[in-house]
Amino acid sequence: MTTLTDDDARAIVLDALRAVAPGPELDALGPHDDLRDTLGLDSLDFLAVVRRVSERSGRRIEEDDYGRLGDLEGWVALLAGGG
C-alpha cells in the first residue's frame, strides 16, 4: 500500500464527496465539519464515499474505522496516517 500525503488523502476524499454530494456546501467544508450534517449524507451516501475512497486509495476501509470518518480530518488521518 502506498503512503499518501495529507494533501493526496484530502484530494481523494474531496473527489469522492464531490461525486456523491456535489454542491456549494462542499466548497465551504472545514476540516472538522460533520460530513453527514454539513453535506446531508445518508448511510448509503456514506458507504458510496467509503467505496470510492477505498478504490482510489487502494486501502481497505473497515467498518471499525467508520466512527472516525465523521469529518475530513478523520479521513486524512486514516489515509495518510496509515491507521
pLDDT digits (tens, 9 = 90+) for 1-49: 568 999 999 999 999 999 999 888 888 899 999 999 999 999 999 999 9
The separation between CA 10 and the C-alpha centre of its own chain, rounded to angstroms, equals 8
Show Cβ contacts of residue 33 under 8 Å, excluding neighbours closer than 6 positions: 71, 72
- Maximum C-alpha span of the chain: 33
d(CA 8, CA 83): 16
**The one-letter amino acid at 15:** D
Domains defined for the chain, CATH in brackets: 6-81 (1.10.1200.10)
Q: How confident is the model at residue 53 (pLDDT cuts 50, 70, 90)?
A: very high
Please indicate, yes or no, whether the overall pTM of this predicted structure exceeds 0.85.
Answer: yes
| Average pLDDT for 39-64 | 96
Q: What is the pLDDT of residue 24?
A: 87
Question: What Rg value do the Cα atoms of the chain yield, rounded?
Answer: 11
